[in-house]
Every structure is written in C-alpha cells, then in structure tokens.
Amino acid sequence: MRPRCAGSRARPNIRPPQGWSIAGPDSRELLSRLTDVDVSSEGFRFRDLREMTVGGLATIAARLSFTGELGYELYCTEDGHDPLCQPPVRQSA
C-alpha cells in the first residue's frame, strides 16, 4: 500500500508518445531507407519493439500488423511527430 500525503497528489510529468504506422508490402523497404537498423524479417521479427533512429529522429519502433500485412508502428515525442512524418513522405514519392 502506498502512503498518502495530506493535500498532495501525483501527476505524471511526461506527455504520451505520438505514433503513426507504415504498412503494406513495401513498408520494409521504405523503413530500411530511413534507418541504419536491420529491419529484415530476421533482424526485426513480428512483435519486436526497439529504440531506433528513423529519419534522423529517436523513435520506438514496433513491428506489428492488425490487418495481416507487413507493418510497423513508430512512436516519438510530440515535438518529433510532424518532422518524423516528412522523411517517409519524401521517400515514398
């Protein structure tokens, strides 16, 4: 049981991470152009979670799929969310 302090309360001092996904048959190729980490099927297995730099920004990456396709979820700080979106958009063009 945690002790209580009269008149005080605890609040987290962090913001939740922001996230977005890359999915589809070419998602591994796209992600490999944005990071130096091995994202091959052997190097980054289904349900793996790791810290990696993507497009020059620190992220937490997960290899997941909710639709049955190859997919990744990338999480970063709130300040990094918009800049993180830019490299994949440029690379996929």
Complete domains list, the chain, with CATH = 18-92 (3.30.1360.120)
Strand pairing category for 18-23 and 71-76: antiparallel
More confident residue, 73 or 82: 73
Q: Amino acid identity of 18?
A: Q
Segment 34-41 shows an average pLDDT of 94
pLDDT tens digits, one per residue of 4-30:
566 667 666 667 777 888 899 999 999
Q: Mark 8-40 as b/e (b = at least 16 C-beta within 10 Å).
A: eeeeeeeeeebeeebbeeebbebbbebbebebe
Enter the pTM of the model.
0.72
**Chain mean pLDDT for the chain:** 82
pLDDT of residue 17: 76
Segment 44-62 shows an average pLDDT of 93
Q: Amino acid identity of 12?
A: P
